[in-house]
């Protein structure tokens, strides 16, 4: 069964670094065109794509957040990790990881999301 699940802290202090883990099963991130990405959603707002990593370790980032994001993968443990530095209250929201199967394709499978609150 193909699944993704996000994990990470529910509360982060301003200026701290957020580290989120996406654990997936049922597919491999060793295939070149398969990718796992991160998308976030502030409360009551729209979806925003953040970053994506392909099976060949190619990484793509949102230009507006590029300086704060790092995406990595651990193929042995089937995990993708996203770090976001210098967290701010505007970064509060639900963070989703999702799968993409081709170089140009939508997100066909999503995790349930993890909620992150940035507050002192």
Partner 1 sequence: EIVMTQSPATLSVSPGERVTLSCRASESVKSNLAWYQQKPGQAPRLLIYYTSIRATGVPGRFSGSGSGTEFTLAISSLQSDDFAVYYCQQYDDWPRTFGLGTKVEIK
Residues near partner 1, by CB under 8 A:
37, 39, 46-49, 52, 60-64, 96, 98, 100, 104-113
Nearest distance from C-beta of residue 74 to partner 1, angstroms: 23
Q: Nearer Cβ to partner 1, position 15 or 32?
A: 32
What's the min distance (Å) between Cβ of 78 and partner 1? 19
Which single residue is written with the structure tokens 């300086």? 67
Whether residue 52 contacts residue 60, with contact meaning beta carbons closer than 8 Å, is answered with yes
In whole angstroms, the minimum distance from the beta carbon of 52 to partner 1 comes to 8
Q: Which residue's CB is nearer to partner 1, number 24 or number 61?
A: 61
Distance CA 27, CA 43 (A): 30
Q: How far is the CB of 120 from partner 1 (least distance, A)?
A: 27
Whichever of 16 and 59 has its CB closer to partner 1, that residue is 59
Q: Show the tokens assigned to 1.
A: 């069964």
3-state class (DSSP) for residue 90: helix
Which are the contacts of 65, defined by CB distance < 8 A and separation ≥ 6? Answer: 50, 51, 84
Residue among 15 and 105 whose Cβ is closer to partner 1: 105
Contact predicate 71/82, CB 8 Å: yes
């Amino acid at each position: 069964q193909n699944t993704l699940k996000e994990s990470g802290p529910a509360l982060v202090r301003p200026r701290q670094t957020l580290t989120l883990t996406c654990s997936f099963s049922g597919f491999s991130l060793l295939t070149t065109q398969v990718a796992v990405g991160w998308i976030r959603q502030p409360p009551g707002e729209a979806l925003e794509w953040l970053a994506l990593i392909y099976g060949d370790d190619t990484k793509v980032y949102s230009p507006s957040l590029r300086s704060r994001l790092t995406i990595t993968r651990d193929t042995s443990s089937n995990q993708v990790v996203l770090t976001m530095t210098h967290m701010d209250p505007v970064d509060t929201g639900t963070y989703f990881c999702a799968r993409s199967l081709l170089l140009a394709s939508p997100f066909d499978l999503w995790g349930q999301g993890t909620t992150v609150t940035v507050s002192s």
